[in-house]
A and B are shown apart, each in its own frame.
Chain A
Amino acid sequence: MSLRIVVCVKYVPDATGDRHFAEDLTVDRDDVDGLLSELDEYAVEQALQIAEDADDAEITVLTVGPEDAKDALRKALSMGADKAVHVEDDDLHGTDALGTSLVLAKALEHVGYDLVVSGMASTDGGMGVVPAMLAERLGVPQVTLLSEVKVEDGKVTGRRDGDAASEQLEAALPAVVSVTDQSGEARYPSFKGIMAAKKKPVQSLDLSDLGIEADEVGLEGSWTKVDEAAERPARTAGTVVKDEGEGGKQLAEFLAGQKFI
């Protein structure tokens, strides 16, 4: 029986671009180029390796995002995923983490899955909460923040490096996994992969397909509200000296002046 792997990938504004907020205090996505969150490339990579180790597996990449989010799906398809699902709806604008996890959970149930693979955090919101929320909503084990992952005999095992300890985890499928950037470099799409991706199916779903009411998501349905967003005053560059042999002593003088010594 085929192992159904679904990878959740987010389309995010490029972190090296000039990110800012729109009038409604949501993230302005029109002004910055978007891309597949780099941390989700690690999720795609691990899914590909799990699929390679399985007798028979199929990888679907899933995103909730605007029209342009198709770019993120294409990237994942060109890396080797089999098909894509895009949840796209005007009413999704401004959806927060709880709303996003609701839509993803409904979409996962709609698509069908044995294993859900996510990144450790998005590179924009960076909350690191969606995978745990998905496990809670779906009622399946969470095996999260793994730096090593393996799927065998209907079980997922992996290593989680925490602050106090490194833990070896185990859970039965179906399960939600998230992987860190320590899990292994993500592959680059090959030319063949890029060409093949153009022919792979991308299914579009909207809120009504998933049985979600518009007021459950979006800015209005959000459980949180941003009241203010202010650009922090850029740090004004302080004193920079060139070491002419006394650099360490000069620095000590500065630190003493600041009462650090």
Chain B
Amino acid sequence: MAEVLVYVDHVDGAVRKPTLELLTLARRIGEPVAVHLGAGADTAAATLAEYGAVKVLTADAPEFADYLVVPKVDALEAAYNAVSPAAVLVPSSAEGKEIAARLAVRIGSGIITDAVDLEAGDEGPVATQSVFAASFSTKSRVTKGTPVITVKPNSAAPEAAPAAGAVEQLAVSFGSASTGTKVVARTPRESTGRPELTEAAIVVSGGRGVNGAENFPVIEALADSLGAAVGASRAAVDAGWYPHTNQVGQTGKSVSPQLYIAAGISGAIQHRAGMQTSKTIVAINKDAEAPIFELVDYGVVGDLFEVVPQLTEEIKVRKG
């Protein structure tokens, strides 16, 4: 069976959920071969094998952390040359898309980004995309070269399928371009202990209606009662009430959770672009005319400072 390269997104060997989804999707079109760059391959290998990786190609070098993007492209290209895969799958993060883009140029292959589903087709993998602020759904395929496809988080439920997961060292020679952009300093983002926004099953977002950074704990308390991630609209982010890394929408994160709760958010097209594929949508807004109500499964017209704390209390009671 044809092999499919899966680029592994991880933090020191802790494999992130979108990669497990990719392994699951990869099995529909071939045998997954995982590419793990940087530290922690030993830890990662077991997880990757559990989710179906027949092989784990690993490389570690200071270049991956010291320079932007290109060293990782060099390594993925080396894996591509070693395997001659039927497709290359990369998680749709900002960096993932850049890695995929450069690889596509190098190997002369077409690229599809932000796929939300993937299936085998007669002429290669068929990718479903959700476009125009999720108002259209398209099916596309790559017609030249080896399909390079980036897949959005929450596109599949990870399924365990134990495989050999044999770890092999990947020989990488870094090209002259690899040291072009130096990372001179790095400030890690502080962990909040809450789930990752793009991976969370439930997201609770606050907008301009939250009316101040000092009120965001109201949103956080609801999120914590549900084990959810916290999101924000751009209006809330621009006002400095919540970090930009939590922004949901066109220029923020695109989320696709089981449940999305929008509190004090009007539902502008750019916000919808980032949340409209959520399975269940709930909104709390004091304006009955707010466009967000056009998409909700359940909406409450009311003051979020009344509704949200009452909801949080009720959830706590029900959860005992």
Those of B106-125 within 8 Å (CB) of chain A: 106, 109-114
Instruction: Give min CB distance, A113 to chain B, whole Å.
Output: 16
* CA–CA, A250 and B273, complex, Å: 28
In the assembled complex, the Cα of A128 lies from the Cα of B94 at a distance in Å of: 8
Q: Does B280 contact A (CB under 8 A)?
A: yes
Q: Mark A206-250, 1 if CB is under 8 A from B, else 0.
A: 000000000000000011111111111001011111110111111
The answer to whether B143 touches A226, judged by C-beta atoms less than 8 angstroms apart, is: no
B158 at the interface (CB under 8 A from A): no
CB-CB < 8 A to B93: which residues of A? Answer: 163
Tell me the residues in window 146-173 of chain A with beta carbons closer than 8 Å to chain B beta carbons. Answer: 147, 157, 160-172
Known: A165-B187, A169-B68. A261 touches B318 (CB 8 A): yes
Partner of B250, one of A123, A147, A222, A240: A123
Q: Judge if A1 is at the interface, Cβ distance under 8 Å.
A: no
A129-B113 CB under 8 A given contacts A237-B295, A261-B315: yes
**Known pairs A143-B68, A182-B244, A243-B300; A171 contacts B145 (CB<8 A):** no
Which residue from chain B places its CB closest to the CB of A246 in the assembled complex? Answer: B310
Taken residue by residue from 245 to 260, chain A's Cβ proximity to chain B (1 for < 8 Å, 0 otherwise) reads as 1111111101110101
By the criterion CB–CB under 8 Å, are B110 and A96 in contact? yes
* Chain B: number of interface residues, binned into ranges: 35 or more
Assembled-state Cα–Cα distance A239/B110 (Å): 43
A132 close to B270 (CB less than 8 A)? no
Residues of chain A with a CB closer than 8 A to B259's CB:
255, 258, 260
Q: B117-160 interface mask toward A, CB cutoff 8 Å, 1 = contact, 0 = none? A: 00000000010001111111111111111000000000000000
Q: Does A142 contact B (CB under 8 A)?
A: yes
Complex contact B101–A171 (CB within 8 A): no
Q: A140-B180, A142-B68 are in contact. Are A251 and B139 (CB under 8 A)?
A: no
Beta-carbon contact of B111 and A224 below 8 Å: yes
* Contact in complex: A241, B280 (CB < 8 Å): no
CB closest chain-B residue, reference A172? B180
- Contact present for A228 and B138 (CB under 8 Å): yes
A131–B250 Cα distance when bound, in Å, is 18
> What is the distance, in angstroms, from B298's C-beta to the closest C-beta of chain A?
5
CA distance A140 to B181 in the complex (A): 9
Instruction: Verify B130–A248 contact, CB threshold 8 A.
Output: no
Contact A126 B185 (CB under 8 A): no
B276's nearest neighbour on chain A, judged by CB, is A235
Pick the interface stretch among A13-21, A75-83, A196-204.
Answer: A13-21
Residues of A within 8 A of B109 (CB): 223
Which residues from 12 to 36 on chain B have a C-beta closer than 8 Å to any C-beta of chain A? none
Determine if A225 and B306 form an interchain contact, defined as CB atoms under 8 angstroms apart.
Answer: no
Q: Please, which residues of chain A bring their CB within 8 A of the CB of B95?
A: 162
**A158 → B minimal CB distance (Å):** 10
Grouping DSSP codes into helix (H, G, I), strand (E, B) and loop, the A interface class, with mixed when no group exceeds half, is mixed
Contact-size category for A? 35 or more
In the bound complex, what is the Cα–Cα distance between A60 and B299 (angstroms)? 49
How many interface contacts (CB-CB < 8 Å) are there between A and B? 262
B132 touches A226 (CB 8 A): no
**What is the CA–CA distance of A166 and B310 in the complex, to the nearest angstrom?**
37
The complex places the Cα of A172 from the Cα of B67 at a distance, in Å, of: 13
Residues of chain A lying within 8 A (CB to CB) of residue B214:
none
Asked if A7 is at the interface of the complex by the 8 Å CB criterion, the answer is no
Assuming A98-B110, A127-B97, is B295 touching A235 (CB within 8 A)?
A: yes
A252-B281 contact given A224-B111, A227-B141, CB 8 Å threshold: no
Which residues does chain B contribute within 8 Å of A120, judged by CB atoms?
251
Is residue B164 contacting chain A, with contact meaning CB distance below 8 A? no
Please pick, from B73, B138, B280, the residue contacting A226 in the complex, using a CB distance under 8 A: B138
A88 CB to nearest chain B CB (Å) = 24
Q: Is B182 an interface residue (CB 8 A)?
A: yes
A25 to chain B, nearest CB (A): 8
Among residues of B, the one whose C-beta sits closest to the C-beta of A168 is: B185
Is the beta-carbon distance between A224 and B69 smaller than 8 angstroms?
no
User: Which residues on A sit within 8 Å (CB–CB) of B126?
Assistant: 227
Interface residues of A in 79-129 (CB under 8 A from B): 96-98, 101, 120-121, 123-124, 126-129
How distant is the Cα of A133 from the Cα of B70 in the complex, in angstroms?
Answer: 11
**Chain B residues with Cβ under 8 A from A187's Cβ?**
none
Q: Assess the B101–A132 pair: CB atoms within 8 A.
A: yes
**Interface contact B140-A164, CB-CB below 8 Å:** no
Listed by A's residue number, 16 A-B pairs whose Cβ atoms lie within 8 Å are: A16-B269, A97-B101, A127-B111, A129-B111, A136-B73, A170-B184, A175-B180, A181-B251, A182-B244, A224-B143, A229-B139, A231-B135, A238-B297, A248-B310, A248-B314, A258-B259
Q: Knowing that A168-B184, A226-B139 touch, tell me 6 more A-B residue pairs with CB under 8 angstroms.
A: A132-B97, A170-B184, A223-B142, A232-B135, A238-B299, A248-B307
